[in-house]
Amino acid sequence: MKTIHCKNMKISPLSKEDFSDILEMYNEPDSNKYIRPLWNKTEAEFIQFFEKKLMQNKIENGLGFWVARQIPSGEFIGTANLNFFFNTERIQVGCHLSNRFWNKGFATTILKELLNHGFKDKQLPKIYAFFEADNIASKKALIKLGFIRLAEERHFDVDLQVYKLDKETWI
């Protein structure tokens, strides 16, 4: 996996050094409001989750999990993913930001960089996004990037919106 540099941030592959910043973000109010699989986890369960993500980064051929940080301060912005959606063949994109970076355009920038990586570097034909219908911020960012609503599916006892972007429609 490569580090992606853009504007005022760098998006680097997840490392163990990032764990404490991610844990801090997960403990922020409303941080996991729309990510139910992260609800009610202990710190040990989160560390195990991060370790699994590190392993996936090694085997998924340029797909996986990243951490976004501001340049030049190195301040933690959040996490991002371009990876297989659980046990499917669909590649998904997503990001999870520290609340101090909400509503400032960071999610759109991070997603755009991961889409460029997916479509240009990895030559993916399409990329999906999955999110809860009440997550208006995710919906707005995805539509701004050209995603279209495909369906609604139930995963983890939650109804998720499924959006898709094709390589042909990506600028």
Residue ranges of domains in the chain: 4-125
Report the distance separating Cα 74 and Cα 65, nearest Å: 18
115 exposure class (CB count in 10 Å sphere: 0-12, 13-18, 19+): buried
pLDDT of amino acid 61: 76
Range from 79-88, 111-120, 147-156 that averages highest in pLDDT? 111-120
SS3 66: strand
Q: Which CATH number does the domain 4-125 belong to among 3.40.630.30, 3.30.1370.100, 2.40.30.10, 3.90.580.10?
A: 3.40.630.30
User: What are the tens digits of pLDDT across the range 154-167?
Assistant: 887 888 999 999 99
Q: What is the pTM assigned to this prediction?
A: 0.90
User: What are the tens digits of pLDDT across the range 19-34?
Assistant: 999 999 888 877 767 6
Are the CB atoms for 36 and 158 separated by under 8 Å?
A: yes
Report the distance separating Cα 23 and Cα 46, nearest Å: 7
Report the distance separating Cα 27 and Cα 31, nearest Å: 7
Average confidence (pLDDT) over 43-65 = 85
Mean predicted lDDT score pLDDT of the chain = 89
Residue 1 clears pLDDT 80, i.e. is over it: no
Least confident of 35-39, 83-87, 88-92: 35-39
pLDDT of amino acid 32: 66
Residue 80 clears pLDDT 90, i.e. is over it: yes
User: What are the tens digits of pLDDT across the range 94-118?
Assistant: 999 999 999 999 999 999 999 999 9
pLDDT of amino acid 29: 77
